Amino acid sequence: TDYGSSLTVSLPAALQPHQPFQIIVRYTTADGPAIWWLDPELTYGNAKPFVFTQGHSVCNRSFFPCFDTPAVKCTYSATVKAPAGIQVLMSATQSTYLEEEGVYQFYMEYPVPAYLVALVAGDLIHADIGPRSRVWAEPCLLPTAISKLSGMVERWLTAAESLYGPYIWGRYDIVFLPPSFPIVAMENPCLTFIISSILESDEFLIIDVIHEVAHSWFGNAVTNATWEEMWLSEGLATYAQRRITTETYGAAFTCLETAFRLDALHRQMKLLGEDNPVSKLQVKLEPGVNPSNLMNLFTYEKGYCFVYYLSQLCGDPRHFDSFLRAYIEKYKFTSVVAQDLLDSFLNFFPELKEQCVESKAGLEFERWLNATGPPLAEPDLSQGSSLTRPVEMLFKLWTTEPLDSVAAASSVDLTKWRTFQTVLFLDRLLDGSPLPHEVIKKLSECYSSQLDSMNAEIRIRWLQIVVRNDYYPDLYKVRRFLENQMSRMYTIPLYEDLCTGTLKSFALEIFYQTQNQLHPNLRKTIQQILSQGLNPLPAIDTSAVTTDTPAMVLEDKVSEATNGAISLRDVNVSA
- Binding annotation for Zn(2+): 211, 215, 234
User: What are the φ and ψ backbone dihedral angles of 358, each rounded to 5 degrees?
Assistant: -70, -15
Whether 135 and 149 have beta carbons less than 8 Å apart is answered as yes
Cα 268 to Cα 431, 432, 568: the distances in Å are 11, 14, 10
Q: What is the SS3 assignment for 412-457?
A: CCHHHCCHHHHHHHHHHHHHCCCCCHHHHHHHHHHHHHHHHCCCHH
Q: Per the residue annotation, which of 76, 104, 115, 300 is the catalytic one?
A: 300
Neighbours of 101 (CB within 10 A): 9
Q: Is 104 a catalytic residue?
A: no
- 347-356 burial, b for 16+ CB within 10 Å, e for fewer? ebbeebeeee
Helix (H) or strand (E) holding 35: strand 35-38
- The whole-angstrom separation of Cα 492 and Cα 481 is 12
User: How is 269-302 classified by DSSP, letter by letter?
Assistant: HHHH-TT-GGGSSS----TT--GGGG-SHIIIII
Catalytic residue (one of 212, 301, 457, 496): 212
Nearest to 424 by CA among 263, 567, 297, 202: 263
- Binding residues are 211, 215, 234
Specify whether the CB–CB gap between 291 and 58 falls below 8 A. Answer: yes
Pairing of strands 191-195, 173-177: parallel
Contact indicator for 185, 167 with CB cutoff of 8 Å: no
Q: How many CA atoms lie within 13 A of 480 on its CB side?
A: 11
Q: Is 472 a catalytic residue?
A: no
State phi, psi for 176 to the nearest 5 degrees.
-95, 125
Q: Sign of the CA dihedral 217, 73, 190, 45?
A: negative
Cis peptide before 17 (omega within 30 of 0): no
Q: Give the span between the Cα atoms of 235 and 241, in whole angstroms.
A: 10
Could you tell me where the beta strands, DSSP code E, fall in 294-427? 334-336
Q: Which amino acid, one-letter code, is at 525? A: T
Q: How far is the C-alpha of 74 from the C-alpha of 132, rounded, in Å?
A: 24
* Catalytically active residues, by annotation: 212, 300
